[in-house]
Amino acid sequence: MKNLWNDKDATSFQAKDGELGLRVYTSRLLGENERLVLVGGGNTSVKLTEKNILGEEAELLYVKGSGWDLSDIEAPGFAGVRMDHCLRLLELPELSDASMVNELKLHCTLHSAPTPSVETLLHACLPFKYVDHTHADAVVTLTNLSDGESRVREIYGDRVLYVPYVMPGYELAKYCSDLWKRDGRDDLLGMVLLNHGIFSWGKDARESYERMISLVSLAEEYLTTKGHERFSSPVPETVPFIESTNDPVELATIRKEMSDAAGFPLLLRSNLSNRALEYARHPEFPKAHQRGTATPDHVIRVKRSPLIGRDVKAYADNYREAFQRNATQTPGGKTLEMLDPAPRLVLDPRLGLLAAGRRPGECRAAEAIALHTFDIVESSETLGGYEPVGELDLFNMEYWELEQAKLRKQGTPAPFAGEVALVTGSASGIGKACASALRTRGAAVTGLDLTEDQSTPDFLSLVTDVTDPSAVKDALARTAYAFGGLDILVLNAGLFPPPKPLAELDDELWKRTFSINLDANQLLLRLAYPLLRQAPNGGRVLIVGSKNVPAPGPGAAAYSASKAALTQLARVAALEWAPDNIRINVLHPNSVFDTNLWSPEILANRAAAYGLTVEQYKRRNLLKTEVTSRDVAEAAAELCGPRFAKTTGAQLPIDGGEERVI
C-alpha cells in the first residue's frame, strides 16, 4: 500500500480550509485508492473547536456526510455535529437508528449540512482528533475467514482493538464506546471490525492517514507471504467491449428477463475480460461468491449474491423465499415491503460478468464491487474458506431503514431510466439535440456519426458510417455490451444535397442520397429489430423525416423522394412490428436553421431571395416562430415516452405551421 502524502499538496489544502482542509486532503488520498474505498464507502472525521454565534467555544465533530464520495469530497461534504450531544447520546441504553440520525441532523451547526454518516457516534467515541475508516480489501479478505480474528491478531497483536461483526449504526457505536472505555489505550493504532473494515486514528491528519496505510500494508504483506500478491497492485481496468462471438441478442434477452423481474428497465454492463471469464468459469469461486457480499454495505448495490448462469426466474424465486424467511425476524415485528428480486450481478461462462442498474453509474459501481470481490473470494477460498456474515445479517443491512432512506433520496427515476437509445447523426444539429434530450430523461445513449464526440458514462460515441453493414452491426454490438440492449432508435442521419432540377440530376447524386436517407435506415431497422423486440417497455423508433414529404419543393427531387420512401418504410414497419410491441413514428421538421447545413452565408442568400431579413426568413411560417433542433428533439423524446405509449404509425409536422402541409 503506497503512501501518497505530499507536503506541497497538504499545504495547499490547509491554506484553503485549515485543519478541515487537511481532513479533505487525506480523505481524498484514501478515496482515490479502490483497494481501500469503493463507490461511496468509508468515512473520515476531525474534531475541531470553534466559536458559535454567541462567542462560546464548542467542540465539533466534522464527519463525512451521506451522499459524498471520499475520492472527490470538498469541505462542505463534512457535517459539523456538536460533540457534547454525540457523547450524551452514547450514554442512552438504546436508541433507534432513525432517532439517532434525527438527533445528529438537529445538532449540526449548519442547516445546509449533509446528513452525518451513520457511523458518526463511533467516530465521536474515539478520543483522537482525526479518525479514518476504510473497507480495505486485504483486511476484509482476512476477516472473512472462519479463523479471521486469529489471523488479524497474528498480524497486529495488541496494537489494535478487535470488534466482532455488529450491525452499523447506534448498536455498533455503543459497542465500540463501551469497548474503548474498557480496553482503550493511547498507544493503540486502530481497530479492526471483523467482516467489515478497519479504523485508524491520530493526533493529526498525516498520522491517521499513514497509520491506515501502515496497517493495511501489514495485511497485504501477510497475504503476499501466502501467495496472494494481487492486493498490492491496482485492480485491472474494466474492459467495456471486447470482440466476441456472443450474440448481442443474448444480452438483450437476459436484460429483459432481469427487467421483468425487477418491474422496471435495467441497464446491463458487460465485462468480457480474461479476469471475468476465468472467474465465471471456475468450478468453485462463483459458488463461494453466493455466500454473500465481502462487506455488508455492498448488499445495497449488488444484493446478497450474484446470479450464476442465466436462470433469472429461479434467482427471483429464491430471493422471495429468503425475504419471507427473514422478514419475520425483523426487530419489533416491522412490516417490510419486499424490494425487487432481480439480480444486480451475473456470472456466466460465456457472458463473463454482467452488472445491472438503472443508471450507468450504478452498473459501474456494481462491476467494481464484483471485481474486488473476485480477489477477496479467491484468496479467502484458498486460505481456508470464504465466510462472510450470514443471510440474516445481510438481510438486515439490505432492509436497514437508513440505507433505504439513501436510495429514496435519489428521487423518482427519470422517464427513460434504465433504457438505451441509439441516435444517428449525433454529433451536431437535430441528432445532437436528440441525444441530449434522451439523456436528460435518463436514457443511456449511443451516438453514431462520422465525427467523434466525447463519450461519458451515459453516452457512447462511435465513429460509424451508417451505410456500412459491418460498421452498423459493430455499433449495435457495442451498444449491447455497454448498456445491455436497445429500447429507442432515432434515425436522424441524412443527406440534403445541393438543389438541382430533376432534368439535371445525375445518377451518382441520386444513388448517394438514397443510400444515406433510405438504404442506411432500412439496414439499421433490420439489424436493430432483434434488439428492439427485447426492450422491456417495448421498442420505439423515431424517424426524422422532412416537410418535403407532404410538401416537396423544386430542386430537391432526390431528397424529397428518399424521405418519402423512408416515411413509407416507417409505415410498413409500424404495421409489421406492432405485434412485437415496437412503435414507429415520424417527425417532419422544416426550416431548422441551427444545423451544419445552414451557414450564415446560405441563410443570408436564401433570405435575400425572398426579400426578407434573416430573422424574418427563419420565422417564415404561420406561427411566425423559429423551429430549432431542440424543438425537434423534445418532440422526438416525447413521442418515445410514456405520454405517447399508444401511438404508432403517426406523422407529426414540426414546422411552425406550413400552408402547403396543412
pLDDT per residue as tens digits for the range 269-301: 999 999 999 999 999 999 999 999 999 999 999
DSSP 65: B
C-alpha cell at 115: 446528513
> Among 110-114, 244-248, 331-335, 550-554, where is mean pLDDT lowest?
331-335
DSSP 80: E
Q: Is the pLDDT of residue 332 over 60?
A: no
Mark 64-92 as b/e (b = at least 16 C-beta within 10 Å).
Answer: bbbebbbbebeeebbbbbbbeebeebbee
Model confidence at 359, in pLDDT bands (50, 70, 90)? very high
Query: Largest Cα–Cα distance in the chain?
Result: 98
**DSSP alpha helix (H) spans, 54-147:** 83-89, 97-106, 120-125, 137-143
* 7-232 CATH pick, 3.40.225.10, 3.40.109.10, 3.30.930.10, 3.40.80.10: 3.40.225.10
Domain ranges of the chain: 7-232, 248-408, 420-592+628-654, 597-626
Mark 320-354 as b/e (b = at least 16 C-beta within 10 Å).
Answer: eebbeebbeeeeeeeeeeeebbbbbbbbbeebbbb
The whole-angstrom separation of Cα 388 and Cα 125 is 27
Share the mean pLDDT of the chain: 94
Annotated active-site residue 279? The verdict is no
The answer to whether the 248-408 and 420-592+628-654 domains have the same CATH topology is: no
Tell me if residue 470 falls in helix, strand or coil.
Answer: helix
Give the global pTM.
0.93
pLDDT digits (tens, 9 = 90+) for 195-220: 999 999 999 999 999 999 999 999 99
What are the E-state strand segments in 166-211? Answer: 190-193, 197-202
pLDDT of residue 596: 78
pLDDT of residue 237: 64
Domain 420-592+628-654 adopts which CATH fold? Rossmann fold (3.40.50)
Contact 101, 402 (CB under 8 A): yes
The whole-angstrom separation of Cα 365 and Cα 376 is 17
The amino acid occupying position 426 is: S
Contact 326, 391 (CB under 8 A): yes
Mark 191-205 as b/e (b = at least 16 C-beta within 10 Å).
Answer: bbbbbbbbbbbbeeb
Rounded to 10 deg, the angle between the 401-408 and 97-106 helix axes is 60
Backbone angles phi, psi at 386, to 5 degrees: -80, 115
pLDDT of residue 65: 95
Work out the average pLDDT over 243-260.
Answer: 92
The whole-angstrom separation of Cα 311 and Cα 169 is 36
pLDDT of residue 576: 98
Catalytic: which of 25, 481, 559, 617? 559
Q: What angle do CA 131, 133, 134 make, to 5 degrees?
A: 150
Residue of 591, 589, 587 lying closest to 639 (CA atoms): 587
C-alpha cell at 20: 478541515
Model confidence at 231, in pLDDT bands (50, 70, 90)? confident
pLDDT of residue 190: 97
Rounded to 10 deg, the angle between the 469-483 and 248-262 helix axes is 30
pLDDT of residue 403: 76
Residue with cell 480495505: 136
Share of residues in the chain with pLDDT > 70 (%): 98
The whole-angstrom separation of Cα 522 and Cα 538 is 20
Rounded to 10 deg, the angle between the 429-440 and 629-639 helix axes is 50
Residue of 70, 65, 67 lying closest to 32 (CA atoms): 70
pLDDT of residue 334: 63
Q: Is the pLDDT of residue 117 over 70?
A: yes
Work out the average pLDDT over 626-646.
Answer: 97
The amino acid occupying position 422 is: L
Tell me if residue 399 falls in helix, strand or coil.
Answer: coil
Share of residues in the chain with pLDDT > 90 (%): 87
Work out the average pLDDT over 332-360.
Answer: 91
The whole-angstrom separation of Cα 546 and Cα 64 is 54
pLDDT of residue 333: 55
Residue of 544, 254, 230 lying closest to 382 (CA atoms): 230
Q: Is the pLDDT of residue 241 over 70?
A: no
Instruction: Indicate the CATH number for domain 248-408.
Output: 3.40.225
Q: Tell me the CA distances in angstroms from 50 to 19, 24, 45, 58, 125, one per residue in order.
A: 12, 18, 15, 6, 19
Residue of 245, 270, 240, 243 lying closest to 255 (CA atoms): 270
Q: Is the pLDDT of residue 95 over 60?
A: yes
Q: Tell me the CA distances in angstroms from 497 to 141, 144, 555, one per residue in order.
A: 64, 67, 10
Work out the average pLDDT over 58-83.
Answer: 96
Residue with cell 404508432: 648
Model confidence at 508, in pLDDT bands (50, 70, 90)? very high
The whole-angstrom separation of Cα 77 and Cα 267 is 29
Residue of 272, 311, 292 lying closest to 369 (CA atoms): 292
CA dihedral 295, 301, 307, 308 (to 10 degrees): -50
